[in-house]
Chains A and B, each alone.
Chain A
Amino acid sequence: MSELNGLRIADRKHIGLAEMLKGGVIMDVTNADQAKIAEQAGAASVMALERVPADIRRDGGVARMASVKKIKEIQTCVTIPVMAKARIGHFVEAQILEALAVDYIDESEVLTPADEHFHIDKFAFRIPFVCGARDLGEALRRIGEGAAMIRTKGEAGSGNIVEAVRHMRALVTGIRRLTTLGPEEMMTEAKTLGAPYELVRWVSQNGRLPVPNFSAGGIATPADAALMMQLGAEAVFVGSGIFKSTDPERRARAIVQATTHYKDADVLARVSEELGDAMVGLETSKLAEKELLQTRGW
């Protein structure tokens, strides 16, 4: 059990697995063939899904945890960690994923929420959780519930990086601001953020989150991945961006290279050549509030 300022947070071995994924790309896959392509392209992990977010958006209906059969099929065909999504608040889906021994559970806004008020008590599980966040308060609430990794949400399935940028900037600015405050300001700040006081104090002292912070939701090109890394992401999740493009294998390799060499424009230019077409993408400012996935989560 790990503690910060006396507050329980996720176990060191679970935060540690997120540390091992840093500088890497976690790719959404919907079957064994895609999982193998992802692994061969250099993915650090795969996320097992029934449908990629772009298809969830197009098809509508209730989006649930992937089928057990599909998750097992993907687990047997790759050696890298396999993650899977559970609906927000659906702790029984999480129990099933724990029984399957997936390596990380993503309590995800991409699926239809199962609880409109509460997230999962993540300390009740022997496997780690990653949760989405749009700002510092949301990130610290999830860490307080036991998340071992945070990913900024972006807007999944949009192929548009603008929301991912907004959320990463909000988080980084929020952290930087905390470091400028005095001890007498901490309690009011915790109240304003809706976040645990101990975590607010820790972030103020350390200038970072106590768990790794990755980026998700809208990454479609190598340049998008490098942009998020330069803005402070420590790794990236790519959902629809790879398998909704015209040449997934080449794009996957290019995004892996771009995430490692994110500060090297010559490498970025080289890997961005001859990629085929990116996924089409959506203008997120034209989406109605109820069509946004990022507003799910409390």
Chain B
Amino acid sequence: MKIGVLALQGDFALHAKALARVGAEAVEVRKPGELDAVGGLIIPGGESTTLLHLMDEWEFFPAIEKFHAAGRPLFGTCAGCIVLAREVERPRQFSLGLIDVTVERNAYGRQRESFEAHGVAILDGEPTAMEMVFIRAPRIARMGPGVETLARHGGDAVLARQGSVLVGTFHPELTENTAVHRYFARMVETSR
């Protein structure tokens, strides 16, 4: 099973490693045409303004909308979550709107305020303990009725899913725990 990792900018190589650990074949995607060969796509952490700039330059927006419309799963972490959200605040910026959440950028502050936490995600009904690394992280400030919370930190959802779209505000790819990537790989597997 081939899963794409958007490799324009950010920690795409770590996502590819995590996918390999759960037995999926990771494919770096730098041009929209490369989406045809993959069953799902991860949009990694990075800088969302940089990602948007590079995605726009290569006309990725219509390509990812088409990918989504074909029922193929998407997983966005941190910057990827911002790119997939319905609305983005502080500052307001363009986003793809493929999951019904409102995301606030850098909601916890600058790097000095970045932090790690222990949390539990509910994946396919199974509670899974995991370390969560938040880096200049965004916050999911609003969730639409169709969005399911898979993990929380404090009062906020930090891992959420609506249909074929999964988003997280932390970085599972920075830890040894592959549960979230395994979960996403299953989403891709069952979408075929």
Q: Contact residues of A with B, CB < 8 Å? A: 12-14, 16-17, 19-24, 39-45, 79-81, 98, 101-104, 126-128, 256-257, 260-261, 264
Interface string of B109-137 (1 = CB under 8 A from A): 11111111000000000000000011110
A20-B45, A22-B9, A256-B54 known; A103+B136 contact, CB < 8 A:
yes
Ordered by A's residue number, 21 sampled pairs between the chains whose C-beta atoms are within 8 Å are A13-B134, A14-B114, A16-B171, A16-B174, A20-B11, A22-B11, A23-B9, A24-B10, A42-B54, A45-B47, A79-B91, A79-B105, A80-B47, A81-B136, A101-B110, A102-B111, A103-B111, A260-B7, A260-B8, A260-B30, A260-B54
Q: For A81, what are the chain B residues with a Cβ–Cβ distance below 8 Å? A: 47, 110-111, 136
Candidates B53, B79, B106; contact of A20 at CB < 8 Å: B79
B13 at the interface (CB under 8 A from A): yes
Q: Are the CB atoms of A13 and B133 closer together than 8 Å?
A: yes
Q: For B191, what are the chain A residues with a Cβ–Cβ distance below 8 Å? A: none
Q: Are the CB atoms of A257 and B57 closer together than 8 Å?
A: yes
A20-B135, A81-B47 known; A128+B116 contact, CB < 8 A:
no
B46 at the interface (CB under 8 A from A): yes
Q: For B78, what are the chain A residues with a Cβ–Cβ distance below 8 Å? A: 20
What 8 A-B pairs come out closest when comparing CB atoms? A42-B53, A103-B111, A19-B11, A23-B9, A101-B110, A13-B114, A101-B112, A44-B47
A79 to B47 Cα, complex, angstroms: 9
Q: Contact residues of B with A, CB < 8 Å? A: 7-14, 30, 45-47, 49-50, 53-54, 57, 78-79, 91, 105-106, 109-116, 133-136, 171, 174-175
A17-B111, A19-B11, A98-B112 known; A43+B50 contact, CB < 8 A:
yes
A20-B78, A103-B111 known; A256+B53 contact, CB < 8 A:
yes
Q: For B12, what are the chain A residues with a Cβ–Cβ distance below 8 Å? A: 22-23
Min CB distance, A153 to chain B, in Å?
23
Min CB distance, A31 to chain B, in Å?
19
A101 to B110 Cα, complex, angstroms: 7
A264 to B13 Cα, complex, angstroms: 18
Task: Give the residue name and chain of the B residue nearest to A235 (CB).
Answer: B9
Q: For B7, what are the chain A residues with a Cβ–Cβ distance below 8 Å? A: 23, 260
Q: Determine which residue in B105, B111, B115 has the highest number of CB atoms from chain A within 10 A of its CB, and name it.
A: B111
